[in-house]
Structure 1
Amino acid sequence: MRIFNTYVQNELPTYLIYVPDKRLVGRNEVKQMFRKEVTLITEEAIHSRLVDLRESCPTAEREDAIRDIVKDTLKFAVLSHRWLDTGEPTFSDILKSFKPYGYEKLVKFCEKANEFGCRLAWSDTCCINKDSSTELEEAIRSMFKWYRDAYVCIAYLADSTSVDDLHEDVWFTRGWTLQELLAPWRMKFYVGNWEPLTSNLNDKENLEVMAVLSRATRIPLDDLRHFQPGTRNVHEKMMWASNRTTTRIEDVAYSLIGIFDVSMMVAYGEGKRAFYRLMEAIILKCDQWQIFAWAGPSSSDSAAFPESPRGYRPLNPVDSNDALLPSTVWRGDRNIVMTKRGLQIQVFLIDLSQQEVTVYEKIDTDDVQTDAYSNYSAGVVDYWCYDTSGDGVLQPEQEHLCVLLRPDPRNPYAGWRKVTTPNLVTIHTKSKLRRTLTPVWL
C-alpha cells in the first residue's frame, strides 16, 4: 500500500472528477475508493508486468511493476479546450452539484473519458480550488506533469469541423494550450459537436493530423509527438509561444514553466515581472546564444530579457544550428550568469563605424543593410571559439547576431548599456577577426 499511497499523494492531481458518479473527489477519497482494488493485485500480475517492463528497461524492479499497475488502475483523462467567457463550471459549482444544464462540455468530456476506460478525469475549469493559493500554485507548477502522466488528453476544438479547418481554431492562439499540445503522449481531438477528428485512438500517431498541426504551430513534427521539456532550444520554444495570448498577464510566463522544466513561485498581481522571473530561471540552466535573438521592448527589470515571448524573432536555421559542431568548437558564452550588476556575458565587442563591418537589420525574413547604428558598438553573441584562450573569432561573410551597445553615462561602473532595436541586428565582416572577449553586464 505504500506505493499506492505515495502515488496518489504525489502523482495525481489534487482533485479529480470520479466519472461514474460525476462528482469531485480529493486524494484521500481516491485512496478510499481504490484501496480494495489495489490490495487484490496478485503476485502473478506483478511478475507479468515486471517481465514486460524489463523488455524496455532491464533494470526495472518489483516496485516499478507495482507502481505501473497502480498507474493503470488510477488512469485519468485530462481536458484541453478553449475557455468560454461565461458558463464554465468552477470548483465551487461542481462541489454543489453536477448539473447537466450549462455543463454540456464537461458532461461530454466525462463521456469520452469513460470510452477510454478512465474512471477519473481532470479539467482546469473545475478541478482547481483557486480560493487556496497553495493549491492553485501546486496546480500551475504541476500542470505539465499531469498532462504528461494522463492516460489520454481529450482536446475539444469547438471552432473546427475537420482536419482542413483545424489550423483556424482559436485553440491554437491560447497560451495554456501550448503545453496541453506538447505534454501528452496520447491525444484525441474532437471537433464541432464532439465528433472525433479521426478514427485513431491516438491522434499523435496520425501523420496527416500532425502535419497540419505542425504547419499551424510552426512546431516540428518530432516535438509534437515526442516533446522533451527543458532549457535546450529556448529561442525555438519561445517562437512557438510568441503569437499566443493569455487572459492574465502572468500566465504568459506561468504557462511555460513546464515546457522549460524550471521552478518558480506563482504570484498573481506581479504582472509582466513574471516573465522576467521565468527568464531568470531559464538562464540558470541555459548556455545557448540564441536566447538573445529577440528585439523590441525589454523587460522593465532587465535589458537582457524581452518583455514577453513576442520579442523573439526568426533566425536563419542554417547559421543558428549548432547541433553538428564538434565538441572542441563552440559558439557564444557558455557561462552566462545573473549577478547584482545584471546579466554577465562575454561578447565579441566591435565598433560599428569600422569600414570592414556591414550592419543589417532582420526585417521579417530579409536582411536589410543599414547605417543607422554606425555610432554604436556591437556585442556579438554567436562568435566562434576554437580553444580556451579567451579569444573569439568572427568568420568573414557570415551572419553574426549582436546586441547593440553604447556607453552608459549614468553607470560608468557597468560600462555598457543595451540599446533597444525594433529588429534583430546582425553584422558581416569582410575578413576574419580574432580578439579577446569582453565581459558586459546587461
Structure 2
Amino acid sequence: MRLLNTSTLRLESFFDPYVPRYAILSHTWEDEEVLFEDIRDAREPLPVHKKGFTKVQGSCRQARQDGFGYIWIDSCCIDKSSSAELSEAINSMFQWYHKSRRRYAYLVDINAPAGERSVSFRQSRWFTRGWTLQELIAPRDVRFYDHNWSFLGIRQTSGDNPGTLEDMADEISNATTIPVNLLRWYRSSPWHSDSDSDDSAVLDASHPPAPPTEEEVTSQLTKALRVFSVAQKMSWAAKRRTTRLEDEAYCLLGLFDVNMPMLYGEGDRAFFRLQQEILKVSDDQSILAFDHRSGYGGRGFPEEGITLLADSPKYFVDSQFERPPLYPPSWPGEPSIETELLLSSRFLEIGLCLCPLMSDDGLDAEYLGILRCVYRDDFMSHPAIPLQAVDRNKMIFQRIRGRDLRKISPLDLDSQHEINGKPIR
C-alpha cells in the first residue's frame, strides 16, 4: 500500500509485513481534492494551489503531533487510473482501516467555536456517505475534528485513551442507528468494560495485562460484527448515499467480509453480485427480509425474471430483524427444516416453512415462506415473504413482485386465523 509521509507529504510504498504504524484520514470529497497524479512525482512541486491541499496538510500535521510518520488518504494514495489497483484497494480498504492505529474523521461542514462541540455535529454529511460507514466501524480509534481541526470527541474511550476524551458512541449511535456495543467493540485490555462491575478486584494492579495482539484485535471486531444479521448491517447503509451507484455495494464488502471484482458501469447489478457473494458464505435468511419500495421488486435472478433479492440497501431501511433463534420455525409435529442457503446459477435453494393461503376455490394460490429470523421487539414472531408456485411438484417458487413482508406470530391452532384476509389451512 502507499502511504503519505507526514513530514515530506510525499508518497512511499510498503508491503506486508513491513507496513509502519499509520493513521488514516476519513473525509467527504470536496472540490479540487489532491489526487494521486498531483503528487506521484516527487520531482514536481506540491499542489499547494488546490483547495484540497489544506486538508491534506492539516491531517499530516495532526498525525505528526500524535506521533505518526505516515498517513493514508484515499484521494491521493490510490492510482485510480489503474482498474486493477482500484479493485485491489477497494477489496482491501476495510482491512486497511482496521489495521490503522488512528482514524481522523474530518467534518469539513462543522465549525465548533473555541473547540467546543457543535450542536450540528450529527448533521454533518460525513454521516450520510456510504464509504464512511466502514470507516466508522473498522478502526480501533476514531477521532472527530471540525473544519478548523478543532478536536470534537472520540468514537469510544478505552484503555488507550485518556479519560478526559469525550466518548461519543451514544450520540453516534443515535445519528447512525449503529448499536453502541458495536461502536465500542475495541478493548485495549481486560480493565476496560461497559459493565458496572469492578473487575479490578480480581486483577493485580501491579502487573497490568499486556495490550492485545493484532490477531486479538481482529478477533474482537469479527466477534462484534458476527452478532448482527445481514438485514441489520444493510439497514445501517440504507440512508447513506454514494456518488456512483455501484459504490452502494462496493462500500459494504468489508462489512460482510467478502470480495468481488469492481465493474463500474454495471449499475445496480453490483448490489446483486454483493448479495450473491454474501450467500456463498452465510446462511442468514434475513438477507431476504426486505420490503419492496413503491411497488418495485428486487432484481433476483434476471435471466428468469424472478424477484428475490433486493436492488439496493435502501430496501432494508429501518430493518428490525435479529439473528435467528436456536431452532427454525416449523409446524407442530413436522420434522426440522434444513435452513442452509445454496446458490446456483439460476436458483436459490432454501429451507423454508411454507404456509399455504387458501384461495376462494379452495386451491393454494399463494404461500408465505417463513424466514429464520425474528423481530427485534418480538422474538416469537418471524417475517414471511409472499410466494407463488412456479412448479409445485419440484417445489419451485418465486417471490410475488410488489408485496411486502408479513409478520407471522404464534397461533392458537385450535382456532381459525386469517392472514391478509385469507384463512390459513
> Residue 234 of structure 1 aligns with which residue?
230
Residue matched to 1:258? 254
Distance 1:293 1:300 in 2: 13
How far did residue 18 of structure 1 move?
Answer: 1.3
Match of 1:392 in 2: none
Write 1 or 2 for the structure with the bigger share of helix.
1
Q: Distance in 1 between matches of 2:284 and 2:171?
A: 30
Aligned residues: 340
Counterpart residue number, 1:217: 176
| Structure 1 residue identity aligned to 2:61 | E
Within 5 Å, give how 1:272-351 maps onto structure 2.
272-296=268-292, 297-299=297-299, 301=301, 303-314=307-318, 316=320, 320=322, 322=324, 325=326, 329-331=327-329, 333-351=338-356
Pairwise CA distance, 1:202: 6.8
Partner residue, 1:191: 146
Compared CA separation, residues 203 and 197, structure 1 to 2 (3 A): farther
CA–CA distance in structure 1, aligned partners of residues 310 and 145 of structure 2: 36
Identity %: 32
Q: State TM-score, norm by structure 2.
A: 0.72
Q: Does 1:104 align with 2:54?
A: yes
Structure 2 counterpart of 1:312, which letter? F
Whether contact under 8 Å (1:231, 1:261) holds in the other structure is no
Unaligned runs of 5+ in 1: 1-12, 32-66, 356-373, 385-396, 434-442
Q: Which amino acid aligns with 1:212?
A: E
AA matched with 2:291: A
> Is 1:423 equivalent to 2:419 in the alignment?
no
Letter in structure 1 aligned against 2:176? T
Give yes or no for contact 2:144–2:152 (8 Å, CA) kept in 1: yes
Alignment of 1:76 onto 2:22: yes
| Deviations 1:7-55 (CA, angstroms, capped at 9, x unpaired) | xxxxxx2x11111111122238xx9xxxxxxxxxxxxxxxxxxxxxxxx
More strand by share: 1
Equivalent pair of 2:228/2:323 in contact (CA under 8 Å): no
Distance in 2 between residues matched to 1:254 and 1:310, nearest whole Å: 15
Distance 2:134 2:251 in 1: 7
Q: Which moved more, 1:399-408 or 1:269-278?
A: 399-408
Task: Tell me the equivalent position of 2:73.
Answer: 123
- How far did residue 83 of structure 1 move? 0.7
Tell me by how many angstroms 1:333 deviates: 4.7
For residue 298 of structure 1, give the secondary structure of its aligned residue in structure 2: coil
- Deviation of residue 352 (structure 1)? 2.3
Q: CA RMSD in A?
A: 3.0
CA drift of 1:268 comes to 1.3
Deviation per residue, 1:81-127 (Å, 9 max, x gap): 0111x211111012243233321111101111111111111111011
Match 2:3 to one of 16, 20, 32: 16
- Structure 1 residues 383, 145: closer, same or farther in 2, change over 3 A? closer
Q: Which runs of 5+ in 2 are unaligned?
A: 186-220, 330-336, 415-425
| Preserved contact between residue 242 and residue 311 of structure 1 (Cα < 8 Å) | yes
Distance 1:23 1:315 in 2: 44
Name the TM-score, length of structure 1 as normaliser. Answer: 0.70
Q: Distance in 2 between matches of 1:298 and 1:333?
A: 25
